[in-house]
Chains A and B, each alone.
Chain A
């Protein structure tokens, strides 16, 4: 028995190591892992259905679905890149793409798309441009699947009772919010996102009001502290506690949507198309609808570029061919149409002909309107997330509390972005 010990150990180790490989998983199938980086009750079943369809079409591949809540997804992916254990495929948006490409974590997909007649030339050109612009080498690192758009969700029943129409301009917006605010009855005209994720929504209101159409001027200086933006921020911050609950100072998405959907105390909630399912489940189509970002009083329709959602294949994955197949399946006409419709976003594949709900049709109208000015958010800056999350969010809370002026806040914010932009240009051979 003792003499057989080393041999048994070798055999056992070989068996264990063989089991660790993912090439031949259960029943000889190739196993790959897909991370849904914005998992939740509204999106998880949609991805799971899409995966089931993929497995039906590709019986030799098994896909393991892993749902990661959006608040933890960036951290979990960074940890996986640093320590091993990255997924084969994940849904990745342009807001986090520069970070992943800087770490050389993703495979470029340009050539795969060029070779695939079902995808080549089928993506919305504006979205392709956004995807290429966020990385220094101008390559595609994700298959684009969707984009989002700012949306103001409102209580249809309250508007009807008050005889109000959805506002078309920002002046109308502020007047409407005033009319719908009745603090003594626990009703507030608006809810401000003051906590996690506040900056993108604040910028949407500021640029939307001011009509400024570029994030950086020709010299590379951030336009954030343009006097028109300062005035716009003062007006936006002035809503806090006058037309909003005090608790808005700490609002993240979950708290904001709970106030709107569950507590039923808010007339208008600013978010994007992605919260459609939550509103429909809680309030139903009879009580809630959305309007697009209002025009500035000068008539300009300025909207912020929203992140483009897509699917990326990780370089460290072992089964790249299967991973590419899955990513291409998600980006294909049928699946992109299904996923976009179910999650309430705009599909990237131009072959999608599914009839979309009203809020998506309205968002597409605004985006496709030649008069609409799209302010390109600087997702290409690796510092953007650090500046907006770690620095700007607490400073914005100070503005809401009146501890910091809108001008000082935007001056400092603009200086940080201007410096980051200069560094980016220098590193990438710009002037």
Chain B
């Protein structure tokens, strides 16, 4: 078969065409090298070093010493990892359940739905530090809720939910829920609106009640959105620093110290960057394996 060239006779080959695809993807490749590969490589490099700016005489290659220290010689690592897992489970489960409930409510037709939706979503628009400032004031023993309860004789003056080991966890959980629930509500509401009304009408004709319609139509439809949103939120909550740092500083007595908060303290206060990056590497590995396992086990994207 004869090959017909589109190139006019005598003209030079279009060399530019061969490089065009590379040129087009070059910005993305450079960005990934600069913002992903280099920082990750740098973290792994420093995790194998003793690197503390206040003790330069000790700096140098450490091999796996930093990892041995965190595994066998650092109770705070295990405590903060355990707290991180507890924090993620409680936050993601409660945020999801409350977010789903709110999404179902504001998906219904009723008077004032628009303003209700705006109110439900508004905490998501507030920055993390501002959210914390609001809750710090609410929990303040002299300006917050406990002061007014004490005026009514229902509490002792000076009581502070964030300083009491029995209440600090749930006080922090409530503050984070206020910010996190709208995330699920927004995502799930967006997916709810794509469910065909015909399905509900057909089910109603067949005699299915609200509960059956929810479990057999709504929930299966939301499956992928739920998997993705819970995964994203789990990673974000594991890495939560801003709210807990400002609200409790990880205290009292390490009771609300997550692994990233511990890393931040080691880097910012102790200047022990080598050990802090070893902890970061471990956190990265945990999140990577969790994400892969979660997506595999939940069969994300696979049609039921």
Which residues of A come within 8 Å of B, CB atoms?
Answer: 75, 78, 81-82, 98-99, 102-103, 183-186, 188, 194-196, 244-250, 258-259, 262-263, 265, 382-383, 385-386, 389-390, 394-395, 397-398, 401, 403, 427
Contacts and interface: CB of A to CB of B under 8 A. Distances in A.
Q: Report the 7 A-B pairs with minimum CB-CB distance, sorted nearest first.
A: A245-B158, A247-B160, A263-B142, A249-B163, A386-B270, A397-B253, A186-B157
B217 to A, nearest CB: 48
Given A263-B143, A385-B269, A401-B253, A99 B54 contact: yes
B142 A389 contact: no
B57 interface: yes
Contact of A249 (B156, B160, B271): B160
Nearest to A250: B163
State the main secondary structure of chain B at its contact with A: loop
Interface residues on B, range: 20 to 34
- Most interface-central of A184, A248, A383, A386 (chain B CB within 10 A): A386
15 contacts: A82-B53, A102-B53, A184-B157, A186-B157, A245-B141, A245-B158, A246-B158, A246-B159, A246-B160, A246-B164, A250-B160, A265-B157, A385-B269, A389-B269, A427-B57
Nearest to B164: A246
A246 B142 CA distance: 11
A81 B160 contact: no
Contacts of B85: none
B272 interface: yes
B252 A397 contact: yes
B56 interface: yes
Contact of B160 (A102, A245, A386): A245
Contacts of A401: 165, 252-253
Contact of B158 (A75, A247, A258, A386): A247
A225 to B, nearest CB: 20
B249 A390 contact: no
Given A81-B53, A382-B55, A394-B251, A75 B268 contact: yes
Given A245-B160, A389-B269, A394-B251, A102 B54 contact: yes
B150 interface: yes
B248 interface: yes
Nearest to B142: A263
Contacts of B252: 194, 249-250, 394, 397, 401
- From DSSP, what is the main secondary structure of chain A's interface residues? helix
Nearest to B151: A186
B265 interface: yes
A184 B157 CA distance: 7
Given A250-B163, A386-B54, A389-B269, A186 B253 contact: no
Highest count of chain A CB atoms <10 Å: which of B165, B250, B272: B165
A268 B253 CA distance: 25
Interface in B145-179: 150, 156-160, 162-165
Given A250-B162, A386-B269, A394 B253 contact: yes
B269 A247 contact: no
B266 interface: yes
B35 to A, nearest CB: 16
A102 B271 CA distance: 13
A397 B266 CA distance: 18
Given A245-B160, A246-B160, A259 B142 contact: yes
Contacts of A196: 249
A398 B254 CA distance: 9
Given A103-B56, A389-B269, A248 B163 contact: yes
B5 to A, nearest CB: 31
A263 B137 CA distance: 13
B140 interface: yes
A323 to B, nearest CB: 22
Contacts of A247: 140-142, 158-160, 162-163
A246 B165 CA distance: 11
A188 B160 CA distance: 14
A55 B164 CA distance: 52
Contacts of A397: 251-253
B243 to A, nearest CB: 15
Given A250-B160, A390-B265, A394-B254, 10 more contacts: A102-B55, A183-B157, A244-B158, A246-B159, A247-B141, A248-B163, A386-B54, A386-B272, A390-B270, A394-B251
Interface string B251-294: 11110000000000110111110000000000000000000000
